[in-house]
Every structure is written in C-alpha cells, then in structure tokens.
Amino acid sequence: MQVKNLKKTYKGGITAIDDVSFNIQKGEIFGFLGPNGAGKTTTIKILTTLLRPTSGQAIVAGYDISKNSNKVRENIGIVFQEPALDDRLTGKENLDFHARLYGMNKAERKQRISEVLELVGLTQRADSLVKTYSGGMQRRLELARGLMHKPTVLFLDEPTLGLDVQTRRKIWDYILRVKDTENMTILLTTHYMEEAEKVCERIAIIDAGKILKIGTTAELIGTSCGTVLEVKTADKIKNISGVKQIKKNGERVDLVVKDEKQTTKIVKELMNNYDIIELNIRKASLEDVFVQMTGKSIREEKPQKMRARIPRGHGR
C-alpha cells in the first residue's frame, strides 16, 4: 500500500487530514495511533473508497483508489468503527449477503461461512438475529465478515472500541491467528496504546490530521525518549542536564530521559540534591512518546459512542 500526500477537506471546511503519506509492506501489520478526531477514520474511509480525497493519491492492494476503485473493493476487507450490520438478519444471513456481493458461489459461501464463524466462535449463534448479539459478538461477526472473501488487505477501524478487556484480548487473538494463516496486510487504528504496542509491527502517530512519526515501537521510543523516572518529592526539581522533559503526573513528577545511558548519572544527581520520597525507573512507553510529541495525553478523550443516533418516531 502506498499513500501519498492525502488530504481531505470536508464540506463544512474542516480539513480532517493533511499531507498524509506512508507505505505499508505486504503482510505487515501497520497501526494508526492517535486521539479522537485525529483523522484515522477519514483516512480509512478514503483508502476504502467510501470518500474521495480532496487531493493526493493512494495505491491499495496494487490498485489506484480513484482510478480503479472496483478492483480495490474486491481486494479489501473492512471492519468499520461504527457497526455496519443488519441487525434484523441473522449472523449467517449477514455473511451470506456479503458473500454474494463478493461473487462467491454456493459451495464457496457455505464452506467459508462455517469457517469464519468457527474462527470467531459464533457457530452456535449463527442463526440468531444480530440484534440479540452482545457488542462483542457483533464485533466478532463483523470481523468474520471482513475476512469472508479472503481480502489481501484488511482495514480495522478501532476494532475493539468500547469492548471489555477480555473481549478485546479475544478479538486480537483472532486477528493475529488469521493474519498468520492468510498472510494479509493489516491497517488498523486504535487509541489503545497497549494494543498498538503489542500488535503492530510499525506505527504511525497521527494527531490533528498529520502524521508525526512512523516507526516500530522500539524506534519510536528510542528516538524520543529512553527511560522515565517517576519521582515523588516535596522539592521543586530544576532542570537537570540529560532530562528531556519534566511533567507533573498527579503527586509525582515524571522525568523523561532521552538517553538511557544517562539514567544512572541523573538518579545520582537527584539523590544528592533533592529529598526523594519515592523513585521509580521504567522504560518509556508509547504513551510517553505520544505526550512528548503532541503535548497531550491520548487517554484524555473518552471513547466515542458506539451506536449511531437512533431517530425518534420511526418504526423499522
């Protein structure tokens, strides 16, 4: 996948993404990490041909999204951020609907439907109406549907948003298992740090419509911060050489150290000059990198609500 200078300005004049460029290798899991409103969904909508970019180009699964959108559509699978199931159909009917749109014949449909249902553990509930499914089950069904036609590129927009920890873990298990067996390229978005860190081979940090940095977790952490010293003290800590950033973190103060090798030196200096109540040394995480780059925490925002607005006064 090659994305070059993608830009999208919505009708109201909001520029959701600006000059977004990146490449994804075949078979790679690539993550988009950023807070709500960063432009992750907009990027995915453009790459999946739901939205036309204002400017820029992209090649997805080997085809140009603007010139050859039908070929792109044939080769991609998507799990949208918001539910996209027909809840008045059963799980199996949703899958069958999908399979027909992707031109699968009867035998293929039958086989593949039972395969993907098995994979996401929904075989037992295949014939229940989707409206009787829990949020996690719906998510798993959507994942199964995204995999039905064996796409070469899979898009996952916040696949675990709003789910409990257990279900989240389960869904990632499925995704990783599938990735291994079917050798897909995966582009996913998330604002859960741990997920991004654990699952993605490379990550793009995106904020306010711009990509700030792309790299492996190690690279991202390595280039901007090495270790973090969490210090509890009554004193006010002044600048120490080697400390890249000092920020308040509740009762404590976090000192971000850029070069790991300087950690010992800085700890000594702290011990000598301040009255330290508590000191905790840890390796910097993506969260720290994120704060470092954007000046804000990714966790500040609450998750968006899952369901679309339900209109009043209309029976279905």
Chain residues that interact with ligand ADP, rule: CB under 6 A:
10, 12, 14, 16, 34, 36-42
Q: Report yes or no: 288 and 256 within 8 Å, Cβ to Cβ.
A: yes
| Residue number, 41 or 90, with CB nearest to ligand ADP | 41
Q: Which two tokens stand for residue 221?
A: 């952490």
Q: Which two tokens stand for residue 306?
A: 């899952």
Q: If binding means CB under 5 A, how many residues of this protein chain bind Mg ion?
A: 3
Q: How many residues bind other proteins (CB under 8 A)?
A: 37
Amino acid at 101: L
162 or 242: CB nearest ligand ADP: 162
Binding segment for other proteins among 91-99, 174-182, 217-225, 229-237 (CB under 8 A)?
91-99
Cβ closer to ligand ADP: 146 or 226?
A: 146
Residues 162 and 306: beta-carbon distance below 8 Å: yes
Q: What is the distance between the alpha carbons of residues 111 and 115, in angstroms, rounded to a whole number?
A: 6
CA-CA distance, 36 to 44, in Å (whole number)? 14
Q: How far apart are CA 304 and CA 29, in angstroms?
A: 24
The structure tokens listed for 182 are: 């079917």
Q: Does the protein bind other proteins through residue 78 (CB under 8 A)? A: yes
User: Which tokens sit at 88?
Assistant: 């008045």
83, 138 Cβ separation under 8 angstroms: yes
Which does residue 12 touch among ligand ADP, other proteins, Mg ion, none (CB within 5 to 8 A, set by kind)? ligand ADP
Residues in region 50-69 near other proteins by CB under 8 A = 50-52
**To the nearest whole angstrom, how small is the minimum distance from the Cβ of residue 147 to other proteins?**
14
Phi, psi of 37, deg, nearest 5 = 85, 5
- When asked if residue 140 is in the footprint of other proteins (CB under 8 A), the reply is no
Q: Which does 208 bind (CB under 5 to 8 A by kind): ligand ADP, Mg ion, other proteins, none?
A: none
Q: Helix, strand, or coil here: 261? A: helix
Pinpoint the alpha helices (H) of 24-164: 40-47, 69-75, 91-101, 106-119, 135-147
> Which strand (E) or helix (H) includes residue 186?
strand 185-190
Is the separation of the CB atoms in 206 and 286 below 8 Å?
no
Among Mg ion, other proteins, ligand ADP, none, the one that 38 touches (CB under a kind-dependent 5 to 8 A) is ligand ADP
C-beta closer to other proteins: residue 103 or 250: 103
Nearest CB to Mg ion, comparing residues 81 and 138: 81
- Contacts with other proteins by CB under 8 A lie at 45, 48-52, 70-71, 73-74, 76, 78, 80, 82-89, 93, 97-98, 100-103, 145, 308-311, 313-316
- Contacts with Mg ion by CB under 5 A lie at 40-41, 81
